[in-house]
A and B are shown apart, each in its own frame.
Chain A
Amino acid sequence: MVYSFPEEQYLKEKAHALRTGLFFRLEEFVDDFPTGSPGKLIDILKRILTAASDSIEAASDKRILILVYNAVHTLSEALDWLDNAHVSQTPRGLADFLDRIASMLAPSSMVLVAPSSKYNYSITDLVPWLTHFAQILVPPASQGSILSQLPQNLYLIQFPRIERENVLGHAVFGHEFGHPIAARFLQNYIATTEGQTHAHEAAREIAVVFQTELSALPPLGQMKAKMRHFQVVSQIHKRAIEELVSDAVGVFLFGPSALFALSDLFCQTELDQLPERGNYYYPPSRFRLREMHSLLEENGHLKALNELPGRGGAPLVSDAARSVLEYIGHLIADDLDRKNIGDEPHVSIAYRWVNKCLHAGHQYAQSEVGTLLYTVELATREISPLIDRLKMELPPSEIGIWPDETNADWRSAILSAWVMKFHQATNAGLGSSERRKKVVDTQRLALKGVEYCLLRDLYKKSLSPREEGYK
């Protein structure tokens, strides 16, 4: 049927309306975020949207315009991030320690912290994301000027808003910072002869394990079935390595606090769920706790916590440390997760593959963490005196007595508060509301402690050249 309505022109106008709609909503944030990482994100997005005008005009296919609509819908997610990126929603201590880790692990990176209504901790590098959209929406001739404005990394860091005050739980970010490291490990590993041999062995195992099913199919059916089985196995393997190597980074950055933070998250879940498409192929939680526990045992952290001295009226606190380690030891002694893994063909092939490369992944993680490693010597030196400060309701930020006090490591502030929290949360001598109040107080003190530690570090660095000058 012939019609006179200029559909193409109308659809282009719709694309422009969406594009400019997002542009002006972003413009509304400019006064709130004139500089810094939010300002950078706004600037890049506005440049992409402005340059997209030419691509929309050049589009001669309705399908391109449908993709443009979807691209603008996806980009508009940034409005939610910016809505939540205000200082009032993010504790200073959290922003500071995330910045500290980011600047050490990835110099020249920028960090955008935005709590979320979703119960999810995540770190996403927005640079590849923005690059994708510049390549999709901007004509090739204009892409260079936009891509040159991008920082090396722009990490969007999200955490559950209801956990905002729980600085102890934020040790989970050690794991999150591990994801780029795990991705690099996987990329390197699969290109090695060893990595390719392991993939080859997995493909051969698939042919053996699914032989009955495959042999009943015609040649093309066999090929498709093999591809599907391998796709599932390699996804399970990849996701396991991504999570387990990231867990290792968390352990190397935060020591036992990484295990405690993950245990605290996992106590809200079933521990033995098998990896499957519906759960993004996450490894079973119990398996992850066991691997982290094993790393902490290897580097001596567990022995040190078990031998925490009960001094100055703090024996009950050191008892709590031993008690929680005993509890976690009990959790990981149960091997239902391993049994489930062995019973499911795709998962068992994938996890045999995981076992072949996980140790190398751990070594890679430790070398990437480098000087940021949280050592057992540091923990042993600092935890007891910091617990003493918490008992006196002081922030766990320094060791010793003025004028001979020294600044504590901010990760020790978190670990000492974890031990204190276990003592308070399980103290049968206190009423329920009193326990909760004490735990909240400890979390607040820990947050202050982290802030003080990082501020003193900053002051020390900034003032020391002046002090030298007066000598």
Chain B
Amino acid sequence: MSAPSTVFKEASDLNFGFLSVKASNALSAVLDHQPLSDDERQDLHRAAEFLEDVADGALVAIEGTFRQGARDDRSMDALSYALGPIDTLKELAQEENVSVLFANMSKAVHCAAEAPTQAQTEDMKVAISFFDALYKLIVRDLQAERPMLGAGSSTRYFAQLA
């Protein structure tokens, strides 16, 4: 029977990995008052949508309620990606409402694409930390999935036996 496909998981991981790096770089450029290219603005819009999906997923998980217009099928997937960085980031641990936090980040990132001077600096900084943490976790998972040397866990198992 088909286990959920590893190659699909990897494609999805890579998709969010690229998005994380591009969003982080574009937000840093906004904070440095540098102009954005059309592609960078597009990346920020996609990043804002992803953060909005996380906020929607958190709302369902915490309160069991759906925001009008939420992309239901995507929000739980987005939340599953966000859970790792949520645990590792000190900035996020200060907040009491995870859903509101991500909704605010989404607004800031969207604003950074449209009207950079009006975007909330603190929310953009938290978003940069979030995306940097997400990138690291994704690369860790990808490399664990395909170790480049040795035979992965079986090597360690036989080493223990020896």
Contacts and interface: CB of A to CB of B under 8 A. Distances in A.
Interface of A: 60-61, 63-64, 66-67, 70-71, 73-74, 77, 120-124, 128-129, 132-133, 135-136, 139-140, 172, 175-176, 179, 186-187, 190-191, 195-196, 199-204, 219-220, 223-224, 226-231, 234-235, 238-239, 243, 265, 280, 282
* Main SS class of interface, B: helix
A448 to B, nearest CB: 27
Interface in B14-53: 14-15, 17-18, 21-22, 25, 39, 42
Contact of A203 (B4, B60, B93): B60
A233 to B, nearest CB: 9
6 contacts: A70-B14, A70-B146, A124-B5, A129-B8, A191-B73, A195-B72
Contacts of B76: 231, 234, 238
Interface stretch (B80-88, B106-114, B118-126, B154-162): B80-88
Nearest to A193: B66
Contacts of A231: 61, 76, 79-80, 83
Given A123-B2, A190-B72, A204-B64, A223 B83 contact: no
Interface in B54-71: 57-58, 60-66
B97 interface: yes
A77 B9 CA distance: 13
A179 B142 CA distance: 25
Given A227-B61, A231-B76, A121 B8 contact: no
A200 B64 contact: yes
B73 A190 contact: yes
Contacts of B142: 70
A199 B62 CA distance: 11
Given A64-B18, A66-B139, A70-B142, A187 B73 contact: yes
Contacts of B25: 60-61
B43 to A, nearest CB: 10
B14 A74 contact: yes
Given A67-B18, A120-B3, A223 B139 contact: no
Interface of B: 1-5, 7-8, 10-12, 14-15, 17-18, 21-22, 25, 39, 42, 57-58, 60-66, 72-73, 76, 79-80, 83, 86-87, 93, 95-98, 135, 139, 142-143, 146
A196 B64 CA distance: 8
A240 B66 CA distance: 22
Contact of B139 (A67, A73, A139): A67
B46 to A, nearest CB: 10
A203 B3 contact: no
A186 B14 contact: no
Given A67-B14, A223-B62, 16 more contacts: A70-B14, A70-B139, A70-B142, A74-B7, A121-B1, A122-B3, A132-B15, A135-B15, A136-B15, A191-B73, A199-B60, A200-B66, A203-B61, A227-B83, A228-B83, A280-B3
B143 to A, nearest CB: 8
B104 to A, nearest CB: 15
Nearest to B93: A220
B62 A226 contact: yes
Given A121-B1, A124-B8, A190-B73, A203 B17 contact: no
A122 B7 CA distance: 12
A71 B5 contact: no
Contacts of B14: 67, 70-71, 74, 132-133, 136
A199 B93 contact: no
B87 A224 contact: yes
